[in-house]
Amino acid sequence: MAAGEGKLEELNKLYLAIILRYKELIEEKEELSVAALPTLITPKDERVIAKAEEFKREFVNYTYEKDFLAAAKKAFEFTRDKIDNIVPPVQFWLMPSETLDFQVGDMMDKNVLLCSLLLQLGNPSAKVLVEVDNELSVFVYFEFNNVFYAFDLKDGIKEFSSKEELYDSLVKGSDSVAYEFNNQHYNDIR
């Protein structure tokens, strides 16, 4: 190990010790009400715009009607494959630009980024759907050409003929809490 790498490793350990010492204060200041979740979806952020433009450039004269679904799948694959899944030692909300900059995030961060990208690619129906039961389930869904698509970063892409069918299939826990949101709306499902 080079001398610089050893110093960096020690510095990272120091940063972790500081974060853990002030964990409660950080989480107290970081707390975000459920109704405020739409503020995390930022399709107009310059980093989100730039990444969406990268996807659009892969098509000749990108048009929403013709190319959105293929571009959406590229955004899904990028988020699934290029953004590493990490769970930081404190509850901390990353903005999509930070998720892009650091190429890391937990499942909520990654789905917030994906939703922001889909909105920027032109689909206003894109939403993050969250179910809290024994564990957290998070995915993004949207409607396109009368089909509902669920982009699940763990289980892949699923298609449904209606929003009700999507809910029935993917929101499973009878005692769970479920809600959906994007930059414009927040909705309790149950």
| Calpha distance 119→35 (Å, rounded) | 19
Total-model pTM: 0.86
Q: Residues 174, 33: contact at Cβ < 8 Å?
A: no
What does the pLDDT look like over 11-62, one tens digit per residue?
667 666 766 676 676 656 655 666 678 999 999 999 999 999 999 999 999 9
**Cα–Cα distance, 62 to 23 (Å, whole number):** 45
CA atoms within 13 A on the CB side of 87: 2
Q: Which residues of 12-21 are buried (b: 16+ CB within 10 A; e: fewer)?
A: eeeeeeeeee
Fold of 37-188: C8orf32 fold (3.10.620)
Q: What is the pLDDT of residues 61-99, one digit of tens each?
A: 999 999 999 999 999 999 999 999 987 766 667 899 999
